[in-house]
Amino acid sequence: MMIKLIGTLLLLITSVMTGSLAAEGLKARVSALKQVRIMLESLRLMIRYEALEVSEIVRRLSEDSELSGLKFIAPLKKYSDDCFEKGLASFDEIWEKALSENTGDIPAEGVSVLSRTGRILGSCDCDGQLSALSILCEETDRLIIEAKEQYLAKGKLYRALGAVTGAFIAVIVV
């Protein structure tokens, strides 16, 4: 009888934790999109006020501790040093390579924004880059709002569903 009770309790805890993990996944999506937005704003500032070259932009991004969640930046720095500086690949090629190999927790729509960012940097004059980055910032703001709404709506649902499922399993087992 004691083993059955412990097993039931473990099933209940597992169900609750599963619901909580699903809700945390939604929260991580919001956080990753915020990191993308911070990076876009950093890029805008670097281009607007300093008119930096892409190699210097990459160096600065790699040193920015606020962007530690964007796992593609460290490989981007390495590829920039190894390939771009030596003329072996274009900047958008190394950006895309670093991004495709190291997306981390970035959701698909965030990866799409980052991919377009790589095609913009260094491809036109400062004003063109700034206007394109502004559009990407607006899109990312919209994505963040949608992700927050989804977290608020579905996060509670996932946690509650996990608890209810656990309770249902516990009743059936007992």
Tell me how far the alpha carbon of residue 81 is from its chain's centroid. Answer: 24
Above 80 in pLDDT, residue 162? yes
What is the percent of the chain where pLDDT is above 70? 98
Residue 83 predicted with pLDDT over 80: no
Q: What is the pLDDT of residue 147?
A: 94
Sorted by where each begins, the domain ranges of the chain are: 35-158
The encoded tokens of residue 33 equal 């999109």
**What are 23-57's pLDDT values in tens digits?**
888 898 999 999 999 999 999 999 988 888 888 88
- Helices marked H in the chain — which ranges? 2-45, 54-63, 73-79, 91-101, 108-120, 126-173
Among the listed residues 62, 122, 53, 136, the one whose alpha carbon sits nearest the alpha carbon of residue 98 = 62
C-beta neighbour count of 1 within 10 angstroms: 5
Global pTM reads 0.82
d(CA 47, CA 128): 10
The answer on pLDDT for 144 being more than 90 is yes
Yes or no: say if 11 and 166 are a contact pair by the CB < 8 Å rule: yes
